[in-house]
Structure 1
Amino acid sequence: MTLFAPVRLAALAAALCTLPAFAAPPPDLDARVDAAMREHGVPGMAIAIVENGKPVLAKGYGVRKLGGTERVDADTIFPTGSTGKAITAAALAVLVDDGKLGWDDKVIDHMPWFRMYDPWVTSEMTVRDLLVHRSGLGLGAGDLMFVPSSSRSRADTVRALRHLKPATSFRSGYAYDNLLYAVAGQLIEEVSGQTWEVFTRERVLKPAGMVDSVTEQAARFANPNRAWPHARTSGVMRGMGPQAVLDERKTLGDNGAPAGGLSSSANDMAHWLQVQLGKGTWTNDAGAPVKVFSEAQSKQMWTPAVLTPTPTWPGKLASAAPKFSSYALGWNVRDYRGEKMLDHGGAVFGVQAYVAMIPDRNFGVAVLMNSEDTQAMRGVALEIIDHALGLPETDWVAAFDEFMDLRIEGGLKALDAAAKTKPASGGKPSLPIAQYAGRYSDAWYGPIGITNDKGGLRIDFTQTPGMAGRLEHVHHDTFRTVWDDATIEPAFVTFGLGAEGKVDRITLKAASPIADFSYDYQDLLFTPLADEVKQLPK
């Protein structure tokens, strides 16, 4: 918290005085950050830079909350999203160093009740497999168990995994998931006897000197020096319209925290970069070396395990696109303009983060931002990296603007095409409205309730607080969700009738063809709960 700021800033100032002249951020960085934030309406940002193993910058910009006056500083905490996956990997690395597990141990040997959909995959899944997105699950499978929030426990979430059907065969390819990082968090508890939250705080964050960082949402809300989430949600598609403050309690359920629930500050991210670049060991403010995990585990976490698609980036971004791309343990490993780079992005609703390292240059940067305007964050980060590499200046913010404009244009075209192909409204429902009401359950998500409210239907995802709304009739037995919280992605809800003319299944799909992958509606299959079947109207 801010109690430690004077000591830490003094140490940072001393470090700056002893570094060689070239180990410094770009001289016009403040102006570049301010310009990018103003141009994109970003409320706040925080940046950490480490060169030659020492922090050369830890600084905040802008405000914590739109309309407020509290400034972002080096101790302001931001949710860091999936950049925290590397923290969960590090927590496992500590247990490997302790001799309590191995990267290639079978998960079921440490957590006997663990189950995947396929029994063979259950028996073969290793600790390493949990972290590298090659399980066979589809993109974002199961994310609705903790997005945008959840009331269920982590153990209950892990037990639900056995009901998620795979999209591909085991270890045959790459598909990004969050759910198996929740499993990794539960595994840490099974092996250590401490929750992921406690173990990570005591064995990773504290030894790393990350005194502001918190693993629990309640601790984040209790810290007055925190950034609030913001997004543009009132336009035709997300990312358009004015910037608005979001509900900070609807970003991620605690059960999914090992996948992206850490909150951290610029000062703490500087420490984290030092630990990473120091291969598990950093030098504290007193000049003493502190080991968080061993160099052997650092090598394991940085070693690619699965190939990932190599993107083709348009226009000015083409020269920044990697020529090879892979995933290690919580890190992307790729090239950037001839250099090996480890990086990872992170996002929860209304907040984004980016962390990148060039190990051969002993350089790292982290950027935290309390909005979804990616181009400002990623553009600034690449300009900082280019400066560290001695490359000519490039306006990467403008390059990302061009890229994002193309994405928005593509999104609008997809929305237009979907509008033209969807069935016209009409085609009366097959049943009286009251007969669609009832309680239904999906094997992995759990229960929902559909109620008859004055001749109209309402739907409630009961284990996702606040995910409720009315059902607007579209065509025949298909309805569209109109959520009470307009920031939640709408879905088409289709009731299927059995031979007896009663509802025997409900399927869903995102209404938008460009919906965030974490709204994995397509993986749901709801059926009436047994006691509801008995009570269906004659």
Structure 2
Amino acid sequence: MRRAPALLAAVAVWALHAAALAAPPATLDADIEAMLAANATPGLAIAIVEDGKTVLSKGYGSKRAGTADRPDGKTLFEIGSTSKAFTAAALAMLVDEGKLKWDDRVVDHMPEFQMYDPWVTREYRVKDLLVHRSGLGLGAGDLTFVPRTTHSRAEIMGALRWLKPETSFRTTFSYSNLNYVAAGQLIEKVSGQRWEDFVTARILKPAGMAGSFADGTQRFGTANRAQPHARLGPPMRGAGPISVLDEKRGLGPNTGPAGGIASSADDMARWIALQLAQGKAAGSTKPLWSAAQAREMWQVATPTPIAPTEGPMAAAAPKFSGYALGWSVRDWHGERVISHSGGTLGFLTHVLLLPDRNVGFVFFLNSEDGEVFQALIYNLLDHYTGQPKTDWFTLTQAQKAKRLEAAKAALASISKPANPVPQSLPAAGYAGAYRDAWYGPITVRAKGEAIELEFPKTTGMVSTLEHLTGDSFVARWADPAIEPAIIRFNVDVGGKVESASMKALSPIADFSFDYHNLDIRPVR
């Protein structure tokens, strides 16, 4: 009689695993089409991998708003920060080869590497480059490459020397793109190959990802590519109708190790299969990286905070959450999920793995409509883990509406006052050469009574300033895809500009527009 419960338990486990290998949801096509139409979102692509096989790879909507040019499994999208897992894998391969260790000091391989604090510089280990515990603030220094700059990777890494930490080293999770740029520099230093060449030769080609590009700008030579889209207002980015962005003003090659790859649903399905197989590519007898390194890349190194969630959305809150090496680790109703999202100007990507069920999937959007993304991800997680069906789209739409209303109210509170304080100086009084230690040169010009602000290393980042009040002005840039900012000049008692500070105008601006980290000083 005692064998019956054990037999029932074994059957239950078998049934749970079998459910994971079921076909994708029967309503998936209809759900996606309905969400795209309801949200006026241009296009989407998806791939699903079960037990090492691609069971779905297709596109929906359009590559460019207003056309009938539908994406498919081979359509290229920017994959943003999901590129970070490729950088982590490249370092894992070098660890396997004995060319470095995770606990090696970075400066022992790359003496030019510097953080703000000399002690932190000396103690910084290879693993620290990947796990977002540097002490820097969220996205600190991202303006060195966002949205598109002429800074070299060496210059971007050099910005770390000047960025003041916000927390103590290794105490707090705070997302850092610049650390991944430094990781790319380390790969080049140790391997003798550029990051692009290493990733292409050692990962993309062996994995069968022949249609992907480590230098995402190379996608411009491929006709089958999606165009970026965003809602540029009014009154702020994230609201208003969909606009097509200029793809040539997106991220440049200098951001590669942090978020520069371009790929497709077909190819990312191969990446998912490679990950689930612990580095073993289809048709290959030798894994690209060892099982030990596969485990290491999924091992949480930095706990990540879990935001309090109320109401129906609380069902989506994890019980645990952390960051590993290029991957986030959390649970979905107690089941382990390995994932990473990626966002660039006009594109969103999300890769999710359910390793205990040997299932993974990836979504691409050629827009920034994250609520569509979120709803579809939750739908598939529910499907593959056997959870009851929830109307996640309605819930995420309501969440978005609440967030936008709060942002609009906050934006209205900083609008130009009815009786603004006059500016302290004529236009010529603000004009001159300025510099920020980590960004570099900034120019202010007098054009008659108008004031022009330019960040010369960033394409399209020039603005005729709008007076707000006192010595504060609004910068709306020539490239409308760049978040507007407020600049405040600090004028001394002698009528000279001592410094200037900035912040994003929109309360929901992407964190990579880190104007608040600038400390702008006149060049004397």
* TM-score relative to the length of structure 1: 0.91
Q: CA deviation at 1:415?
A: 2.1
- Cα pair 1:130 1:180 within 8 Å, conserved: yes
1:274, distance to aligned residue in structure 2 (A):
0.5
Aligned length: 507
Q: Return the alpha-carbon distance in structure 2 between the equivalents of residues 279 and 521 of structure 1.
A: 40
2:9 aligned partner: none
The answer to whether the Cα contact below 8 Å between 2:476 and 2:484 also exists between their aligned partners in 1 is yes
Deviation at 1:434, TM superposition (A): 1.0
Instruction: Give the SS at the match of 2:388.
Output: coil
- Other-structure match for 2:518: 524
Q: Supply the distance in 1 between the matched residues of 2:107 and 2:219 (Cα, whole angstroms).
A: 33
Q: Deviations over 1:223-273 (max 9, x none)?
A: 111111111112222222111101112332322221111111001111011
Helix, strand or coil for the counterpart of 2:409? helix
Per the TM alignment, residue 142 of structure 1 is displaced from its structure 2 partner at its CA by 0.1
Q: Specify the alignment match of 1:137 in structure 2.
A: 136
Residue 12 (structure 1) aligns with: none
**What does the per-residue CA deviation read over 1:156-198, in whole Å, with 9 as the maximum and x for residues that have no partner?**
1111210111111101111111111111111111111111111
List gaps (5 residues or longer) in structure 2: 1-17
For the Cα contact (< 8 Å) 2:316–2:332, is it kept in 1? yes
User: Is residue 2:221 matched to residue 1:227?
Assistant: no
Counterparts of 2:429 and 2:398, CA distance in 1: 50
Q: Which moved more, 1:396-405 or 1:105-114?
A: 396-405
Match of 1:77 in 2: 76
Q: Is residue 368 from structure 1 mapped to residue 339 from structure 2 by the alignment?
A: no
Q: State the shift of 1:423 in Å.
A: 5.7
Deviation of 1:21 (Å): 10
Q: Indicate if the aligned counterparts of 1:141 and 1:520 stay in contact, CA closer than 8 A.
A: yes
Give the Cα–Cα distance (whole angstroms) in 1 for the partners of residues 109 and 423 of structure 2.
Answer: 51
Counterpart secondary structure, 1:24: coil
Aligned residue identity for 1:102: K
Per-residue deviation at 1:379?
1.2
**1:35 aligned to 2:34?**
yes
The answer on 1:474 being equivalent to 2:468 is yes
CA gap of 1:20–1:289, structure 2 versus 1, over 3 A, is farther
| Alpha-carbon spacing, 1:514–1:192, altered in 2? closer, same or farther (3 Å) | same
The equivalences for 1:203-222 within 5 A come to 203-222=202-221
Displacement, 1:130?
0.7
Q: Partner of 2:3 in structure 1?
A: none
Aligned to 1:495: 489
1:354 to 333, 350, 353: 350
Structure 1 residue 283, shift from structure 2 partner: 1.9
Q: CA–CA distance in 2 between the matches of 1:229 and 1:526?
A: 32
Q: CA RMSD in A?
A: 1.8
1:270 aligns with 2:264: no
Asked if structure 2 preserves the Cα contact closer than 8 Å seen for 1:418 and 1:513, the reply is no
Q: Which residue of 2 aligns with 1:377?
A: 373
What whole-Å deviation, never above 9, does each CA across 1:28-54 have from its counterpart, x for those lacking one?
A: 211111111111112111111111122
Could you tell me how far 1:363 is from its partner in structure 2?
Answer: 0.8
2:193 partner amino acid: Q
Match of 1:185 in 2: 184
Residues 51 and 362 in structure 1, CA contact (< 8 A), matched pair in contact too: yes
Which secondary structure does the structure 2 equivalent of 1:282 belong to?
coil
Q: Distance in 1 between matches of 2:151 and 2:383?
A: 46
Q: 1:459 to 1:136 in 2, by over 3 A?
A: same
SS of the residue aligned with 1:525? coil
Instruction: Confirm or deny: 8 A CA contact 1:81 1:260 kept in the other structure.
Output: yes
Letter in 2 for 1:87: F
| Structure 1 position 403 matched with structure 2 position 399 | yes
- Say which is worse superposed, 405-414 or 298-307, in terms of deviation: 405-414
Alignment CA distance shift 1:517-1:58 (3 Å):
same
1:394: Cα distance to partner?
A: 2.0
1:291 corresponding residue in structure 2: 287
Mapped partners of 1:42, 1:94: distance in 2: 39
Instruction: Give the C-alpha shift of residue 69 in structure 1.
Output: 3.0
Asked if residue 250 in structure 1 is aligned to residue 246 in structure 2, the reply is no
Shift of 1:385: 2.4
Aligned-pair CA distance for 1:216: 1.3
Change (3 A) 1:498 1:416: closer
2:302 matches 1:303: no
Maintained 8 Å contact 1:150/1:254: no
Cα displacement (A) at 1:307? 0.7
Aligned to 1:453: 447
Inter-partner Cα distance in structure 2 for 1:140 and 1:283: 36
Answer whether contact 1:208 1:290 (CA < 8 A) is retained. no
Structure 1 position 289, deviation (Å) = 4.1
Helix, strand or coil for the counterpart of 2:100? coil
Q: Structure 1 residue 504: deviation in Å?
A: 2.5
What amino acid is aligned across from residue 223 of structure 2 in structure 1?
P
- Picking from 504, 508, 514, the partner of 2:498 is 504
Aligned to 2:7: none
Matched to 1:451, the amino acid is R
CA distance in 1, matches of 2:421, 2:406: 31
CA pair 314-487 structure 1, distance change in 2 beyond 3 A? farther
Q: Distance in 2 between matches of 1:218 and 1:267?
A: 19
Deviation at 1:358, TM superposition (A): 1.0
SS in 1 for 2:247: coil
Query: Which stretch shows the higher mean deviation, 19-28 or 516-525?
Result: 19-28
- For residue 22 of structure 1, report the CA deviation from its aligned partner: 4.4
User: Displacement, 1:424?
Assistant: 5.3
> Secondary structure in 2 aligned to 1:334?
strand
Q: Does 1:515 align with 2:515?
A: no
Q: Structure 2 vs 1, CA of residues 132 and 245 (structure 1 numbering), >3 Å: closer, same or farther?
A: same
Contact 2:20 2:385 in 1 (8 A): no
Asked if structure 1 preserves the Cα contact closer than 8 Å seen for 2:135 and 2:171, the reply is yes
Q: Which amino acid aligns with 1:503?
A: V
Cα distance in 2 for partners of 1:95, 1:425 equals 62
Contact 1:146–1:254 under 8 Å retained in 2: no
Separation in structure 1 between the aligned mates of residue 191 and residue 201 of structure 2, nearest angstrom: 12
> Counterpart of 1:431?
425
**Does the CA contact (< 8 Å) of 2:214 and 2:262 recur in 1?**
yes
Q: Which residue of 2 aligns with 1:325?
A: 321
The aligned residue for residue 64 of structure 1 is 63
- The SS at the match of 1:283 is coil
Contact 1:80 1:347 in 2 (8 A): yes
Measured in 1, the distance between the counterparts of 2:406 and 2:386 equals 35
The residue aligned with 2:5 is none
Give the whole-Å Cα distance in 1 for the aligned partners of 2:295 and 2:221: 36
Write the distance in 1 (CA, Å) between the matches of 2:420 and 2:77.
46
The Cα shift of 1:139 comes to 0.7
SS at 1:483's partner residue?
A: coil
1 CA distance for matches of 2:489 and 2:401?
37
Please, which runs of 5 or more residues in structure 1 have no aligned partner?
Answer: 1-18, 534-538
Task: Please identify, of 496-505 and 162-171, the stretch whose mean Cα deviation from structure 2 is larger.
Answer: 496-505
User: Could you tell me whether the CA contact under 8 Å between 1:308 and 1:327 is conserved in 2?
Assistant: yes
Moved more, 110-119 or 502-511: 502-511
